[in-house]
Structure formats: C-alpha cells, structure tokens
Structure 1
Amino acid sequence: MIQQHGGNIGQLRDILDFSANINPLGAPESVKRAIAESIDCAEKYPDPYCAELRGKLAVHENISAENIVCGNGADDLIFRIVHAFKPKKAMVCAPTFTEYSRALAEVGCEVLEHILAESRDFELGEDILPKFDSSLDMCFICTPNNPSGRLAAPEILANIAEKCRDNNVILVCDECFMGFVEDSESYSLRQFMNWNCIILKAFTKLFAMAGIRLGYAVCGSSHISERIQQSGQFWSVSALAQEAGIAALDETDYVRKTVRYITEKRRFLAAELSKIGVNVYSGTANFLLFKSRTGLAEELLSQGILIRDCTNFSGLTEGFYRVAVRTHEENIRLITALRRCLNG
C-alpha cells in the first residue's frame, strides 16, 4: 500500500498505524486542556499574526519575534516559502520529504536532486558542497532526514550555510524531528544561522498535534520572515492551534521524557528488526528506515498493521519501508508480525 504520506488510514478500521511518526506518548494534558478551554474562540477569527504565540516562541528560540512566522503545520510554510520567493532553480536531497519538490513544481522551478548514497546510510556528506553556486536560488535540507532519520553533521551544516550565504542562496533546513534527538542543540542549524537561513519546526510530531496543525519558521532576517508572512492565506493558524502551541511550550519535562523514551525504544526496535534479518539504516529520529522484500507492507496490512511503503520517495526503490517508534507493546506487535511474515 503506497501512500503519499504516513497516517492516511482512511477507511481502514482497527489498524495499528506505524506509518505516521507521531509521539507515542500522546499530546500533553495541558495541550488538550488548552484546546478544550479555547473552544469559544472558534466563533471568532484568529490572530493572523499569532502575536502571543510568536512572543513565547521568541523567548523559547532566543530570537526576535519579528524573525518568526507561524503556519498551519510545516507543510503550509514550505509552500508559503516557495511561493514567496519563486525560485528558478533549487536543490533538494533524495530521498527526502516529498513536499519540497511538490512546492517547487508549483512555481515551475528547476529541481536539482542531490542523491544520498545507500552505501553511506543516506548520510549528507561534503559531496553536496560543490553544487552550490550563484545559479542556485534555494536549497532544502532535512535533519534528521525523512525517511532515513539521519542527522547532518554540524560541520556539514556550517559549510552549507556558508556556501549559501556566499552564493545568495536561501537555505531552508527542516528540523521538524529534531525535538526527538538527544543533545539536539548541537545538531541544529541555529548555531550557524545567516541572514538567508530558514529553520522549519513543528508541534505536530513532538507534541502529537497532527490534527491541530501548527508549525513555525525561524528566519535569519526579518525581511525573509515578512515575505513568508505575506505569502499564503491570511488566517493560517486557528485560534485553537495557537492556544495549544502556547501551552506546549511550557512542557519541558514532557520533551525530556519523550527524548529518553524514543531513544530507548528506537534502539530496541532497531536491534529486533536486525535480528529478524531486515537491513535497518542508522537514524536518530522517532522512526526507522529498513529494507526487506517487496510486498511486505501489504502482508502486514492483512495483519492489521500499517507501515510506510517508501517506493514513492525519489532515490528509493521497492522494498524500502519506514516504521514509527511506538510504545513497547506496539513495537512488540510489529516485531511479531514481521517475524510471521518473513520467517514463517
């Protein structure tokens, strides 16, 4: 079952969903309360500038609120960035999140793919650096990358940021899964940020708010943030989502607990998958990429388990799959089902 994205369970019933990379701990109770208590705001238009949320994000990110733009999830911001600047030529990695290329195609942009080698576990290496020149207008990178879960090394990020600055290239760095990473600040582009950098972040995955939709962009200059703010729909973030985000930013203990939990369960799941005989690629996010035989996703679906068939990712072929890291009990169910499929 090849999906455009994970989590599209549609009409499926009684399905254990490993295709969507959502925090298995669920949304914090404070976030649920904030949504419920703000229900009366639903009859009014929301603040189009998300002033209160941006003010709190400014403290959280240690940057001026003028450099932050909020959106209806990171996906919304990807399209708003592309439509704001309308690049003629852009670079993306492969495999990576497919929405970058979809957004670029909408404005008729020429897309240059930088292929990440399977032999290096899809690591972003220095071989990307010579591809930055003045003909390029925009570059998308993702760390940890989706679907591989690989982090970009800090020295690579520093060199890419420098190359983009020197060649007047807008660098969009998607860090939506960075919240699941241990010592995440050491791996963020934030430490190498130039005027032309944009970092994408989302509440969706870390705070289990996929149905609420909330993301934000941290920009290296207020000029860039203003361009993005003026692109796309005026009321892009609902009042309920804004209140949920304000509450989520206080959940520091929840985030620490999540990082510990995901790190432990990811290691266990990766080890068990390897024992079964599938090829697991090293990653640091709340999901794992592995390679096995074709048709495996359909076999698991017949057992009530949905995984992400990655055939439609550029740079991958049949037999690549992505699974979320879920609770221990759910991970055991996946492992048992995989053993049944592969080993009889």
Structure 2
Amino acid sequence: MLKHGGCAKGIIDFSININPCVTQKLLMPYVEKAVDEVGRYPDIQGNSLVKKIAEVENVAADHIIVGNGASDCLYTCARALKPQTVLIIEPTFTEYRRAFEVVGSHVLSLTIDLSDQQGIIEEKLIHQIKKIKGDMVILCNPNNPTGAVYSEAFIEQMIKIQAAHKGFVLLDASFRQFEGLSTYFNEKRWNLIELMSLTKYYGVPGLRCGYLMATKSVIMAMKEEQVPWSVNGLTLEIMPGLMADMTLVKATQEWYAAEKSKIEKALIDLSFVKPMKSHANFICCRLSNVSAYTLNKWLGHQESPMALRTCEDFVGMGDDFIRIGLKSALNNDQLIEALIRYEEEVYG
C-alpha cells in the first residue's frame, strides 16, 4: 500500500497530491531570502503568517491559528476540545480518527454508499446526524480520497443541526484552492471549524504548514494546547511571499484545467477503470477485473516505474480503488500511455 507519498526515488509517485507548478526555480528566491531565519528564533505564534492568511481569507486574525501542517492543527484541536462523540463522514482522510481517539473521543463512522447519487448521500447523512447528535461532525470538502464536493445547502444544514445541541462541525477544506472555492468560515458560524493545508497547493510538504479558522474561544483553547514554536522560521518567511505570488496562481490554474481534463478523458476511455467526479488535484477510480496491488506491481516494472495510491486503508473502500494525483504534463502522459498499454496487453 502506498500512502503519504512513500515511494522510493526513481519512481513517478502518483500517490501524492502536490502542485507540480511549484518548481525549484520558483522557490529558490524565497528560500535564499529566508536563510538568515535559521539563526533566529521564529515568532512563537507565527503572527506574520497569520496576518497574511487573514488578508487572503478576509477573516480576522484572532480567528486563525497556524501549525506544523494541517495535521498538527487537527491534533491540537482534538486536545483542546476533547469532544465525547465524533462522527466522521467516510471514506475520508484517516488521521481524523487517530487524532480524536488519542484524546479519548468515541469515534463513529458515517460510511456513505459510493454508488449513490450525491443528493441521496446528503439526505442519508442529514438523517444520521440529526439522530446521533454527536459533539462533532467531521467532513472533508473536497473529500480525500474521492474528490467529492458537498452542496452548500447540505453544509449549512449540518452546521445548523449541530448548533442546535451546541455541537461542532470540523470542515477540512485543504484542497479547495484548486477549484477556487472560498472559505465557509465566518464569525457568525460559531460552531464551524475550518482546517486548511498550505503544503498541497503551494507544493511545500517539507516545510509543514497549515492553519485552522474558528471562533475566538476555540482558537484560545488551542493555543493553550499548542506546542510552542510550532511553525519554523523558514516557513514563516517563505509562505507569505509564496501566497502572494500571482504568477504561481496563474500557472496552477492553467495546469489544473488542462491536465485534469486530459486525464479524465483518458480514464473514461479505459475499459477497466471507472473515474469518479473529482473537484481536487487527484482522481479516484474504481477498478474492474484487476486489483490495485496487481496494477501497481505492473506499473512498477515499466521502463519509467510509477505508483498509484491504493485505497484499502480508507473505511468503505477496498483494493478495487485507486487514487491518481495529478502531476506534470509529461508524467501524466507517461501514466496514460502505460494504462493504455496495460489494457492492450491484458484485455487485448
């Protein structure tokens, strides 16, 4: 199983979801400017980055906390709130369960039927959320690994249902930038907590940077639990400039539109792959007559070895699902050509 981008060097890794438009050439001016920060202690609460995020999201700075990646913010939130009952809409990112089980929360899965239409899925979920009345509901939107997006009406209804019994909604929107989706958080939605990653869109997983937006009381509780100096000096120096780089934004928009469309069309034409509608920089597919393990093994023995993300560790999914992260035009073409060869060799 390939997860968290765990491929050896020399393998084209489609299991990761990192923006390929962020090149070494683009990053180097920011890195060179930030080198002096290595010899200084960073701002303990990362206020320079908080200020930039507040500007981008149009949210007051005291509603924002930054951390060592979105996962760090997630675990800090769990320690701060310690909800008794947590509902997770599955299949989705597996760290949610780990983060809240560590603090003793009773975690329940609301597992959707991937064959249902989105409207039916949302109706069923609303019924379950009303019935259980959990202290927190966790939703990833766009969802990892399926790429599905829930309707605004559904999210609004879920927020209101939870508010009625003083429950929270934790919305992970880490992939929303690729389709230009705006934040759901505002000060009136006191029970909404929105989680964001900066490593996916800005292509800097090694820097580890994420943030969370919530009501002031939640942010204050999290600061009490957060490890000091959670964000390093290099990140605090590099990220504000990178977030303001409109050349990168334009390049990303053009790459995303072209490559997503190209891969979707190619996958639809394959007899053994059924791609799911995705609103993120990856595409989840259901395989027929081949397992993810078998396909990955075959891809790993090609002239240009490559690997896809298998999905058997996601609740409600098995070894007949794969997730393909979009990469450079060249890499995407190599994958398409390889999958066509596989179909010709195996199915004639």
TM-score under structure 1 length normalisation? 0.92
Q: Give yes or no for contact 2:21–2:248 (8 Å, CA) kept in 1.
A: no
**1:158-173 maps to which residues of 2 (within 5 A)?**
158-173=156-171
Q: Which runs of 5+ in 1 are unaligned?
A: none
Q: Give how far 1:136 is off.
A: 1.3
Q: Give how far 1:194 is off.
A: 0.7
1:190 alignment partner in structure 2: 185
2:315 alignment partner in structure 1: 314
Q: Give yes or no for contact 2:185–2:193 (8 Å, CA) kept in 1.
A: no
2:243 alignment partner in structure 1: 249
Q: Give yes or no for contact 2:195–2:212 (8 Å, CA) kept in 1.
A: yes
2:99 pairs with one of 103, 110, 121: 103
SS state of the match for residue 340, structure 2? helix
C-alpha distance in 2 between matches for 1:120 and 1:333: 33
- Percent identical among aligned pairs is 27
Over 3 Å counting, the alpha-carbon distance change for 1:251 and 1:144 in structure 2 is same
Matched, 1:275 2:275: no
C-alpha distance in 2 between matches for 1:97 and 1:214: 17
1:153 pairs with one of 151, 154, 168: 151
Compare 121-130 and 324-333 and name the one that shifted more. 121-130
C-alpha distance in 1 between matches for 2:188 and 2:245: 26
Compare 246-255 and 170-179 and name the one that shifted more. 246-255
Q: Give yes or no for contact 1:281–1:289 (8 Å, CA) kept in 2.
A: yes
Q: Which runs of 5+ in 2 are unaligned?
A: none
Aligned-pair Cα RMSD in Å: 1.9
Q: Which amino acid aligns with 1:229?
A: K
1:132 alignment partner in structure 2: 129
C-alpha distance in 2 between matches for 1:226 and 1:21: 31
Q: Give how far 1:27 is off.
A: 4.7
C-alpha distance in 2 between matches for 1:333 and 1:157: 38
Number of aligned residue pairs: 336
Over 3 Å counting, the alpha-carbon distance change for 1:175 and 1:202 in structure 2 is same
* TM-superposition CA deviations, 1:101-140 (whole Å, max 9, x none): 1111111221111112211367751321233357411111
1:181 alignment partner in structure 2: 179
**1:12-91 maps to which residues of 2 (within 5 A)?**
12-27=8-23, 31-91=27-87
Matched, 1:284 2:284: no
C-alpha distance in 2 between matches for 1:267 and 1:179: 17
SS state of the match for residue 189, structure 1? coil
C-alpha distance in 1 between matches for 2:311 and 2:168: 28
**1:112-131 maps to which residues of 2 (within 5 A)?**
112-120=108-116, 125-131=122-128
Over 3 Å counting, the alpha-carbon distance change for 1:316 and 1:24 in structure 2 is same
Q: Which amino acid aligns with 1:41?
A: E
Q: Which amino acid aligns with 2:228?
A: F
* TM-superposition CA deviations, 1:297-319 (whole Å, max 9, x none): 22212221011011111110111
C-alpha distance in 1 between matches for 2:172 and 2:32: 30
SS state of the match for residue 259, structure 2? helix
Q: Give yes or no for contact 1:27–1:209 (8 Å, CA) kept in 2.
A: no
Q: Give how far 1:74 is off.
A: 0.4
2:329 alignment partner in structure 1: 328
Q: Give how far 1:44 is off.
A: 2.4
Q: Give yes or no for contact 2:159–2:168 (8 Å, CA) kept in 1.
A: no
SS state of the match for residue 118, structure 1? coil
SS state of the match for residue 42, structure 2? coil
Q: Which amino acid aligns with 1:6?
A: H
